[in-house]
Amino acid sequence: MAKRKRRAKQGSLVLICAWCNTKIPPDTEVFSIATKKLPGIDLSNHEGKFIPLHLALAKKRVEGFVAPKGSPAKKDGYDVVFVACSENCGRALKTALQKEKEAAGLMSMN
Ligand SMILES: [Zn+2]
């Protein structure tokens, strides 16, 4: 007999796809894209928070979560994590991030 366990509610945090801005309902599979720190941006004051980042080439504003010290993402060497609603959005975001990094045009909006 399977044990039924209620999922703990994680506050009222609603995840929003960083790429298409669709609200991701709870209990939905999300795709995460982790990236290393971007040159010229000091994220130390934003650990554990979402920050808006401007993708100059894609002409888009995306929200990224700054991994706090000791988090799994940080241990893997990543600094910013984005969530996406679908594999397509994840891939599009990843490609866009890559282009921005190559152009070194990614700027914090803060
Ligand atoms: Zn999406």
Alpha carbon distances (Å) from 78 to 9, 12, 71, 101: 26, 25, 10, 14
* pLDDT for residue 104: 64
Using a CB cutoff of 5 Å, list residues around ligand 1, an ion: 17, 19-20, 22, 85, 89
* pLDDT for residue 17: 95
Q: What is the Å distance from ligand 1's center to 57 Cα? A: 18
So where are the chain's domains? 28-108
Task: For 40-99, give the DSSP string.
Answer: T---GGGTTSEEEEEETTTTEEEEEEEPPTTSHHHHTT--EEEEESSHHHHHHHHHHHHH
- pTM of this prediction? 0.76
Q: What is the Å distance from ligand 1's center to 94 Cα? A: 12
Give the tens place of pLDDT for each residue, 35-67. 887 667 788 899 999 999 888 889 999 999 999
Q: What is the Å distance from ligand 1's center to 30 Cα? A: 9
Q: What is the Å distance from ligand 1's center to 92 Cα? A: 9
